[in-house]
Copies of this chain bind each other. A is one copy, B any other.
Amino acid sequence: MSDLLERLRDRGWRLTSQRRVVAEVLDGEHVHLTADEVHARAVARLPEISRATVYNTLGEMVALGEVLEVATDGRAKRYDPNARHSHQHLVCSGCGAIRDVHPDGDPIAALPAAERFGFTISGAEITYRGLCPDCA
């Protein structure tokens, strides 16, 4: 289970009840919650936790590289605890559901040198768009 929490602890992260709850709530496979959803679930376990703390905590986890920020282009950013395993996202244009997917091949390799304009490429994110079985 709490893979994420363990990783954070190993990095000498100062541990408080709020931070622990945020990490626990966010952890898992195919989890892509908004800050507000994280807050709602955190409140269920720790009623006094504030939105500001949730935002701060998520921001720190992103800065540490343990959590990924996903802008699916809707309104609010979503947070993906699975930052360690490279994966891409499949987003339903109907209901906004997100799945993690693993395409074949390395997208970075597909970008020819002539198309790099002198940039040093450090990563690539792919968002597949489509309709899920329920929305089709």
Query: Which of A10-18, A20-28, A35-43, A112-120 participates in binding chain B?
Result: A112-120
Interface pair B93/A115, CB less than 8 Å apart = no
**A58 lies within 8 A of chain B by Cβ:** no
Interface centre among A112, A128, A129 (most CB of B within 10 A): A128
Q: Find chain B residues with CB under 8 A from A92 CB.
A: 119
Interface pair B122/A124, CB less than 8 Å apart = no
Give the size category of A's interface with B.
35 or more
**A110 lies within 8 A of chain B by Cβ:** yes
**A101 lies within 8 A of chain B by Cβ:** yes
Query: Among B102, B112, B126, B133, which residue has its beta carbon within 8 angstroms of that of A124?
Result: B126
Interface pair A132/B119, CB less than 8 Å apart = yes
**A1 lies within 8 A of chain B by Cβ:** no
Known: A92-B119, A107-B128, A119-B132. 11 other contacts (CB 8 A): A69-B73, A90-B116, A99-B117, A99-B119, A101-B117, A103-B111, A104-B111, A118-B133, A120-B136, A122-B131, A124-B126
